[in-house]
Amino acid sequence: MSDYHGRIMNLQIDKKQGAFDDRTPKEILAYKAGHRDARHAAAELAIAADRRIEAAEALAAALLRIANWHGEFPPTERYWDDGTEMSFGAVNGSNGERDFMRELARTALAAWEAKETGK
């Protein structure tokens, strides 16, 4: 996860920009309080954005596996008479391959939904 939250929380008021020129102490205090509140709100948005980015990256990884299809199946640990390992398709058929990829997609989508809903 990126550290946008920390970076935002550490933003300082740039006093060189003239933010406090000709301001009363009460106005300066209000300005600082507003700056603090804005930092906190922006940092919370950054956390939510980081979660969405992580979930999107997981979806992209799942889509790449589905797009590649071949070579993306787990080992079967079953062997032909000559000792070579049987492919996932040979053991489970094309429906088994399809079901494996569907489950891969469903798992990625469930993780996305969980991040979206916070569950």
The reply to whether the predicted model has a pTM over 0.75 is: no
Structural domain count, the chain? 1
Pair 8, 49: CB distance under 8 Å: no
Range of the domain at 25: 4-117
pLDDT(14) > 80: no
Query: What's residue 118's pLDDT?
Result: 67
3-state secondary structure of 1: coil
Q: What is the DSSP string of 25-76?
A: HHHHHHHHHHHHHHHHHHHHHHHHHHHHHHHHHHHHHHHHHHHH-TT-SPP-
20: pLDDT strictly greater than 90: no
Q: What is the pLDDT of residues 34-80, one digit of tens each?
A: 888 988 888 888 888 888 888 888 889 888 888 888 778 999 999 99
